[in-house]
Structure 1
């Protein structure tokens, strides 16, 4: 009997060792491995769609008017930039240092290389063009705010990141223009996507014209704006007042590039931030316009507001 018990105990231990080894080498059942993830075309496309979240949001765009003479925000962080008392630690300044976004965009571009075998050539070129555009967009915005910045084109290890330094503004600008003109523009139309909010040829042309305007290269501005105009895809909204009504949302030909929102999954609170408490949105009155912005508007008969008194309107 003792011999039998000893035999059973020994076999149980051996089986335990085998099962433990099998258990420890089993792939995780609740997550997809890095190698398997990029083999699925639908997941690769999902990663591309996700990069659009790294573009500036509505509040970010609207609030930056509050550091100019167009508007004022009731919080001090905006006033600090407007009156020149900000530092490198001011929240709005730190928020524009978007290397967490650059790291994620580089990661997706490297992932698309892994996924290439499962994509058609048109899909591969289209998806990489979209991500490269968003990365170039992010880099140029940082150039606008900071000048010389690190130029990082691939994911870094911790030790590599500690050795990173700033590159001259001209070098980063050259990279941005090269990406847009030589990689994005030639490939963005390899796969037609009519979905609203996705990068297309005219979005790239419009952004290039904006860059060249800031860089004071007016010949290039005319070149790229001419392409947008001649495309026939866009026009001014017929009624300026109606442009701000809910019915203008959607297929609005005045909009060249827009960030997409779809309740209840993806929402924003811009209406509440900008509106008064007595409005239909029951807003928080975070932002108020300044007289300088009002004076920029023309009256119905075409003259400036500042000329109303002498014209008697």
Structure 2
């Protein structure tokens, strides 16, 4: 499924484009068109691959760590994703980077899904069975649920498009965010009920029922806190129930680093869904970006957030060694961050060509066998979207809100901690105290996996946290209106007045 996925991604784009050219009597004979494609099950297999390829877009794959630069965790010295504008409060309808990109690319990906579903509905040949048909639909609806989740949690009210658009229907108004959420849940529920009920690592890169359930957990957690930051117990109960169903099919990877290096990702028992790559034709510059260019530079406050090996905070623990700050620390620190340059031991060292503004770089996604890192490096690490470590912490968070600090909640978080050799949390924590420990554990365990910005916003503490960042090279400013990004101005302009801008922009 992974081979040639980038080339196959163009199939649906070309099909959609040519569909709109109804007045042309002849299609170019050297190009794919809807008249010559969609003729066999093989064509639908290729189109399905093209739909999965939409997930390879940089902000959902190789640039997942950049999302950490919108938070208190990192600094983007090259301004990837317009991180400087975002953290400094210069977000407007004209802001580029992710503010405009996520909106446009999400709808492009949704258009591919909708075209696929339209063609599938009209296809009557016997080589696609009813079982095949349901499986196809479930896989692309899982993907559509992911894209609408991006739109919903970043922009709020957006257009809801469920079929291919025409010249007559291309201008779509926004619908309430609640309607978008309802559609996300419908898509994910259909996927969860229809996809194969096997672990992801046994399904050749295709989404499974547990992939859909884990994504639904993430969606519901964002909605559970509303605009108050207080969790809705009924929604949290749904998250907890889903977590129980998902976690039984997976186990934590014995080695933390194996989750992120291609050699350890194959059949990894922790990965619940990933976006896949394969050298030499389908790679992304993971090693060059983070090991050579230092696209993301961890901030000092983030490095200081890792505990010492006795479970006490750095600076408070008697094991604190200011002269050797990586000594006696949670082992995830050295597996997440490097000082000055990546050094894997045994002579596997790379000296970055770019500056080290904070003195640190991101180690987490680097592969030692790919040294030296540069333009010729063929990095084929998969982008991990969902994994058991996240599910256990989502489950612990939800169950703590429902039932308090039960033994089951503590086991979930302590299992995650135990992998890195950290001691179990102390007994006697209150519900409020455990909530803070779970949030801290998410910051450490899931660092630079694209989730910190999402977490701060759903907990409604983004202003409190981000406006207190003092160790970056950009002054931070978060306003309440930034809980929703503006609709990109070009989308407003071309809508002819149909699409309205978000409030306060």
TM-score by length of 1: 0.81
**Which one of 139, 143, 147 corresponds to residue 130 of structure 1?**
139
- Equivalent residue for 1:4? none
- Equivalent residue for 1:142? 151
- Equivalent residue for 2:269? 253
- Given that 1:126 and 1:190 are in contact with CA atoms closer than 8 Å, whether structure 2 keeps it comes out as no
Which residues in structure 2 correspond to 1:154-303 (within 5 Å)? Answer: 154-162=163-171, 164-181=172-189, 183-189=190-196, 194-216=202-224, 217-231=235-249, 234-241=250-257, 243=259, 247-275=263-291, 283-303=292-312
1:305 equivalenced with 2:307 (yes/no): no
- Equivalent residue for 2:99? 93
- CA 1:218–1:123: 2 relative to 1, 3 Å: same
Tell me by how many angstroms 1:179 deviates.
Answer: 1.8
Give the Cα–Cα distance (whole angstroms) in 2 for the partners of residues 167 and 67 of structure 1. Answer: 27
- Write out per-residue CA displacement over residues 224-279 of structure 1, whole angstroms, 9 at most, x where no aligned residue: 11101123xx222223355555542322222111111001111001221111xxxx
Tell me by how many angstroms 1:306 deviates.
Answer: 3.4
- Write out per-residue CA displacement over residues 75-117 of structure 1, whole angstroms, 9 at most, x where no aligned residue: 3421110111122222220011022222122111111123343
Equivalent residue of 1:256, what SS?
strand
- Equivalent residue for 1:84? 89
Which residues in structure 2 correspond to 1:98-109 (within 5 Å)? Answer: 98-109=106-117
- CA 1:66–1:33: 2 relative to 1, 3 Å: closer
- CA 1:34–1:58: 2 relative to 1, 3 Å: closer
- Write out per-residue CA displacement over residues 110-153 of structure 1, whole angstroms, 9 at most, x where no aligned residue: 11123343301111100111111101110011111000000001
Which structure features the higher share of helix residues? 1
Equivalent residue of 2:317, what SS?
helix
- Equivalent residue for 2:49? 49
- Given that 1:41 and 1:115 are in contact with CA atoms closer than 8 Å, whether structure 2 keeps it comes out as no
- Given that 2:74 and 2:297 are in contact with CA atoms closer than 8 Å, whether structure 1 keeps it comes out as yes
TM-score by length of 2: 0.51
Higher relative contact order (CA 8 A, sep 6+): 2
- CA 1:306–1:106: 2 relative to 1, 3 Å: farther
Task: Give the RMSD, CA atoms, in angstroms.
Answer: 2.6
- Given that 2:85 and 2:91 are in contact with CA atoms closer than 8 Å, whether structure 1 keeps it comes out as yes
- Given that 1:180 and 1:208 are in contact with CA atoms closer than 8 Å, whether structure 2 keeps it comes out as yes
Tell me by how many angstroms 1:26 deviates.
Answer: 8.2
- Write out per-residue CA displacement over residues 25-47 of structure 1, whole angstroms, 9 at most, x where no aligned residue: 88864345524422211111110
Gaps of 5+ in 2: 1-23, 225-234, 322-327, 329-505
Give the Cα–Cα distance (whole angstroms) in 1 for the partners of residues 28 and 89 of structure 2. Answer: 52
Further displaced range: 170-179 or 58-67:
58-67
- Given that 1:148 and 1:169 are in contact with CA atoms closer than 8 Å, whether structure 2 keeps it comes out as yes
- CA 1:263–1:173: 2 relative to 1, 3 Å: same
Equivalent residue of 1:161, what SS?
coil
Give the Cα–Cα distance (whole angstroms) in 2 for the partners of residues 306 and 116 of structure 1. Answer: 67
- Equivalent residue for 2:12? none
